[in-house]
Amino acid sequence: KAGVTQTPRYLIKTRGQQVTLSCSPISGHRSVSWYQQTPGQGLQFLFEYFSETQRNKGNFPGRFSGRQFSNSRSEMNVSTLELGDSALYLCASSTPGTSFDEQYFGPGTRLTVT
């Protein structure tokens, strides 16, 4: 079974631009979560989508948004990029219904904002 894939793997953007990141979950997984990882703040939860609906949201400004498609693939969008948005963005998928619902992570998209 293929793992979680994220595209692109690396991205360089300029302050003020917007960016879209993509995540394809493991086949059969219907939940997709997004995290921002920075050296200073660690791993912070952005949001989770399940069956095309946002089910949970972390404490991030409205510039961060996401969506999920009927095939469970998910995208996250960051508008009006700021220097502080430079981070590794991780996507994780899981299959609710199991006792642990443990998450399987993708390799991440490293976003650099200049």
Partner 1 sequence: AQTVTQSQPEMSVQEAETVTLSCTYDTSESDYYLFWYKQPPSRQMILVIRQEAYKQQNATENRFSVNFQKAAKSFSLKISDSQLGDAAMYFCAYRSADNYGQNFVFGPGTRLSVLP
The contact set with partner 1 (CB under 8 A) reads: 3, 31, 33, 35, 42-45, 48, 50, 55-56, 58, 90, 92, 94, 96, 99-108
- Residue 84 dihedral angles phi and psi, to the nearest 5°: -70, -5
Nearer to partner 1, 62 or 100 (CB): 100
The distance of closest approach from Cβ of residue 24 to partner 1 in the complex, given in angstroms and rounded to an integer, is: 14
How far are the Cα atoms of 62, 106, 112 from residue 32, in angstroms, in the given order?
A: 19, 11, 23
CA 27/CA 33 separation, integer angstroms: 15
Nearer to partner 1, 4 or 81 (CB): 4
- HSE on the CB side for 88, CA within 13 Å? 13
Nearer to partner 1, 22 or 79 (CB): 22
Task: Give bridge partners of residue 24 from the DSSP assignment.
Answer: 5
The distance of closest approach from Cβ of residue 20 to partner 1 in the complex, given in angstroms and rounded to an integer, is: 21
